[in-house]
Amino acid sequence: MDVYNTTSWERTELIVISKSLSEAGDRVTDEDGHPVLSQRLSTGDLAIWARGIPPFCAVRYKISAGIAHKPDTPVKIEGTALDNGTIRAQVDAKTGGISELYCRGIDNNLADTAGGEQINQYLFLLGSNLADLQSNGPVKITVEENGPLVAALHIESVAPGCNKLVRKVRLFADYVELINIVDKKRAPMNPNPVKGGPGEDWAQHGGKESVQFAFPFNVKRGQIRLDIPLAVMRPETDQLPGACKNWMPVGRWIDVANQNHGVTWVTLDAPLVEIGEVSARLLGSQRNLDVWRKHIEPTQKFYSWVVNNHWGTNYRAYQDGIVAFRYALRPHLGYDLAAAARFATGLNQPLIAAPTAGPNATRVPLLRVEPEEVLVTALKPSDDGKAWIVRLFGASGQDRRAKLIWSSPEPKTIWVSDLSEKPGIRTEGLVTVHGWELVTIRADRV
């Protein structure tokens, strides 16, 4: 198998090879014959720990008959806790939420349960009164994967608004993966309202419902930062006057951190969040400005708002069926927005495994960019076919001098360009990339 890295930084992470492509066996070796960590999963697929995949190139692995190579410190399950020696996630046996989240080097529990909520807790609200907020019923927890490379718990329960709720908690080397599968019931409704009757105002106020998953983090004096297109936003502080504070969109990630430690939260399917409280409770077409939220107090808690029918339009008035919402949690020391961006981008742009074709894949990257705080958001041939087009993003929010290191043959001339892809200012050596700036580079090949 060849494993391709399509990002601009070196990657070490888990990849999963399908059962049909890994029938040769459980033993994995790299191109030099060294053993590679692997685990046959309950699905029949093969998990591989791909280490040190350089940017913009591929590394070849061999799958063969034999015993899988195991890590020195295995991922394991103890009761309803998942532990790999670095991260420990305790799942509550009654609720299925994460009641404890610990990371080596951080003394405190990163899950804030003081308010009665847990990480990844299911919440259902019928109408707009918070007194009616409900959670799921008793859970049944089974072991889905028991290490040594991947550990996973399967958590099943009844839940209001659902035919069934399934939550999966999986632990890898440096992060926790959450998969929430909601089998949504259709909202109650009156399809034939009679003028003056109880169903006439249904589109505005009747049968309204919403589903949230709670993420209360215990990071003392931590600042919430949201990933937005080509920038990072702090709720309240960075919002324009009059901007919506009841809910807000997020790109790939949210980071909750102080100067010492924090948690990066990644969302793969759910783009709306509520900060600090369940505040998306404005049913129908709400024109009364007085009821909109005016301020967001400092907090380290937010909610992923995944389902609602609060709109007052001619769209279908209910949402039903099976849908999955995927998240990842990575505790971390220090404070590094570029690291959060790399982590989230990697989950959205995973390593690609494909059967080998032709000669061995080269480990020499087409392009390297230093420092890693400058991300490549695009690398493509120019429209005229004579150059490479590279777009650089200042993901740390700080000004950086970026060095582009090309494999042989190196480009003949490098220009700062724009969306036209035409040569602009000729440059040699380092390229200045300001915080949150997008810089287009044209590297002539001929």
| Tens-place pLDDT, residues 245-254 | 999 999 999 9
Look-up of token digits 């400092």: 298
The CATH architecture one would assign to domain 76-334 is Distorted Sandwich (2.70)
Question: Which tokens sit at 194?
Answer: 């009679």
**What distance in Å separates the CA atoms of residue 18 and residue 215, rounded to the nearest whole number?**
32
Specify the fold of 367-444: Immunoglobulin-like (2.60.40)
Instruction: Note the pTM of the prediction, 2 decimals.
Output: 0.94
pLDDT band at 287 (very low <50, low <70, confident <90, very high): confident
For the chain, give the number of residues: 446
Question: Residue 364's pLDDT is what?
Answer: 85
Of 60 and 318, the structure prediction assigns the larger pLDDT to 60
Strands in 248-249's sheet, in edge-to-edge order, are 121-126, 209-216, 301-308, 272-275, 248-249
The lowest-confidence range among 20-29, 185-194, 293-302, 322-331 is 185-194
Confidence check: pLDDT of 360 > 90? no
Cα angle 198-202-205, degrees, rounded to a multiple of 5: 110
Mean pLDDT of 332-359: 93
Residue 121: strand pairing partners: 214
Element (H, E) at 200: none
Q: Are strands 38-40 and 253-257 parallel, antiparallel or unpaired?
A: unpaired
For 117-126, the pLDDT digits (tens) are: 999 999 999 9
Percentage of the residues of the chain whose pLDDT score is greater than 70: 95
Mean pLDDT for the chain overall: 93
Cis peptide leading into residue 371 (ω within 30°)? yes
At residue 277, the 3 state secondary structure works out as: coil
66 and 25 in contact (C-beta within 8 Å)?
yes
Percentage of the residues of the chain whose pLDDT score is greater than 90: 85
CATH 2.60.40.2220 placement within the chain: 367-444
Question: Residue 319's pLDDT is what?
Answer: 84
Q: In this structure, is the dihedral angle defined by the CA atoms of residues 224, 301, 98 and 161, taken in order, positive or negative?
A: negative
Question: Which tokens sit at 436?
Answer: 């949150």
For 95-152, the pLDDT digits (tens) are: 999 999 999 999 999 999 999 999 999 999 999 999 999 999 999 999 999 999 999 9
21 and 355 in contact (C-beta within 8 Å)?
yes
CATH 2.70.98.30 placement within the chain: 76-334
Question: Residue 195's pLDDT is what?
Answer: 53
Other C-beta atoms closer than 10 Å to the C-beta of 45 total 16
For 180-228, the pLDDT digits (tens) are: 999 999 987 655 555 555 544 555 566 889 999 999 999 999 999 999 9
Q: Are strands 35-36 and 57-64 parallel, antiparallel or unpaired?
A: unpaired
